[in-house]
Structure 1
Amino acid sequence: MTEVSAQAGATKTDILVAGAGSTGLAAALAFSRAGMKVALVGRIPPPLPGRTVALFEASIRFLDALGALDRVRALGCPIEAIRMIDDTDQLFPVPELTLRASEIDLPALGVNISNDELVGVLLDLVRARPEIELIEAEIADYELNSATAAAMLADGRRIEADFLVAADGRNSRARAVAGIDVREWTYPQVALTAMLRHEFPHDNMSTEWHTRSGPFTLVPLPPRENAPHRSSLVWLMSVADARRRLSKPRDELEFEIEDYAKSEFGTMQIEGEPGQFRMGGMQVSKHATGRMALVGETCHVFPPIGAQGLNLSLRDVADLEDCLASVDLRNERELSRALARYDRHRHADIGFRTNGVDVLNRSLIIPYLPVDLFRGASFLAVAALGPLRRAVIREGVLPHLVLPRLMRKPARAHAG
């Protein structure tokens, strides 16, 4: 595993991954799979009430390569279609749009699983890998130079590595030490999240109502004992509406959720406690520098629209592993070329997704007739034109801009 460095008290490894959330855990697994020694440093994140992640085909293939797919499928629910309904009361009606996995010859577009269960699956795999040393500690500071990347832990330990993968979140200390500039913005919205039980089946279909406060989305979840029909809710709304709704008695909030869903799923019951988080966005000036690369929310943040967040983060990890696969990490020239390639890929992929999500979100919350007309015409074209619709589905679940090697091989068929 790790070895003692020439510097007294320091531990030496090939790859240092900072941050032990789902992105950091996936990064540690990807690089250990490539035969590298990995030190994964960070605190395991606390539970996130009501939060799930919809993992699409490219991410499914990646999880299969990491050995996580069987457990993810067992714990999650397949998403066979995505249904989008305009509920903005705009002047000209917008047709309902349904995107089905069968149109692109897939059994499902992806799998929806609770965030906490996904972290648990990846954590178990990390702990089973002898190439990974999991160090549950805080990183106090970093030292980045042309020869090494080092982390100084809060307990005084020092970890030295040939390369640092920064997965330490939107307030990344590693990014700040590297001097990478950040552009941030906010939206006048809060996302309310919850797990729901409902009366009628979801038929493995994600249903998204587009309202003037943002999308109201129900994503299918697997059944539980005495709860055959379940979904996760992501509901974007104003800050004032979020405060009002979360202060309501539970049954009144359930009635309002049922009303927003047009009673299509019958009566609603909230499982556990609902969660909330403020909407914002973030981009960085570059995604790699020296002996460090950024992945996940260290380099991109945007609203939970189209379920792009974690899928994009896993693509960061797979892309970085691909770019570094045949590189001697001690060779500065080889490393520099590989990181330039990674930066180009991430600028294109992240920029495309960020702009698309931003435009869709703003088009909903700004009641401007030309914008409504453009959005309506886009929906009409996708609904009416089969080739365009199939292209949109493929781009959403299996992007053409960047498809790293760990995402190219189709996932194994699910046994049973």
Structure 2
Amino acid sequence: MLLASPQATRWLDDDTHRLFLAEDARRQFAFFRHSLRADGGFHQLDVDGTPRPTQVQELHATTRMIHSFALGKLAGLDKGDDMIAHGLSYLGAGHHDAQYGGYIWARDGKDISDGRKLAYGHVFVLLAAASAHAAGHSTALGLLDQADQVLTQRFWEEDHGLFADEWNRDWTPFSSYRGMNANMHGVEALLAAFEATGRKHFLKRAGRILSFFMDTIAPQYDWRIPEHYTADWQVDPAYAGDPMFRPAGHTPGHSVEWARLWLQYGALTGTDVEDGARKIVYRALHDAWDESRGGGLIYTLDFDGQPAIRDRYWWPVTEAIGVLAALLKTGGTAEDEAWYHKMWQFADAHLIDHNQGGWFPELDDDNRPKARQFAGKPDIYHALQADILPLLPERANIYDGLRALIPPKL
């Protein structure tokens, strides 16, 4: 299948490109349907779609599956209801902590393998609930209310206007760590909750988080956004946690994700944030595009803006696609269009699994799939949004846009 018509310049309006996006989304849904577990929750999948032997189920994976199939239902790309209901059931039976409240991070079969209470996981509960509610699931609004209550009582720091990160299972202190990532996905979830319910406190909180990172932090660091902070929200340049989930320095993939969310907030509030968002996007693209290996975006930079972890994963490319599509929907520039083409050409050539469905999560130096940090295909969430967001007619309410979408047909 062609990525776009040979004569097309503006791909967002090109019928061939739109058909390509819809078909890749459909193939992703078909692939990840294999993850459904008869005994509750979802399997982790190998690259061929067979269940991996592990029994571990993590909160972010469960919630992202719910969110993704809700988007598919709204867009008319997958019926979705069975997967959404299955995931919601496991959130209650598997992840919800009936003893202490909130949601545990991970189970290994029937056993709790990681009982921590993480803001990162709880904001994804809010996101899943918002999307399931928008898709018409009757229990989702109660889940949204519950997630909002836990986030407010346990994680939200009103003085700072930001989310703290982590507690032990019984809500005793775990660490004083503060992080950018949980707050970035917090903005994503808060905007979704606002779009699903119209409740303005969600939008207000998203704005406060964005103000700190976009208006205060990003300009101080040459439009890069540090990952890690102290308990009083000072940048912590010495912090080096897990090299996969809490790497030191800056993560360009997160920068483009932030910029997309900022543009979404701007569209919802009528605020002009395009100039700042564009500075963040092009700082990240120019820093991270790996021309020497034929493309892709390197994972992290140090505080001097030099490459640190040079691994290339699928998700930064998907997020770059999402923000470039958002910029193009405001009119865009020739440079935006060229980068949008470049990202999709790289993804089509090296990341999309045209045989099995889904995207390969990481590449070796020769742009072949490898499995070092990621086993199998971790989730549908990032790549699906790269397919769906460019199809939307405008940047305002995503759920309304999905409902109005008439998917291209084969």
Q: TM-score, normalised to structure 1's length?
A: 0.28
Q: TM-score, normalised to structure 2's length?
A: 0.28
Query: Which protein has greater RCO, CA pairs closer than 8 Å, 6+ apart?
Result: 1
Structure (1/2) with the larger helix percentage: 2
Larger radius of gyration: 1
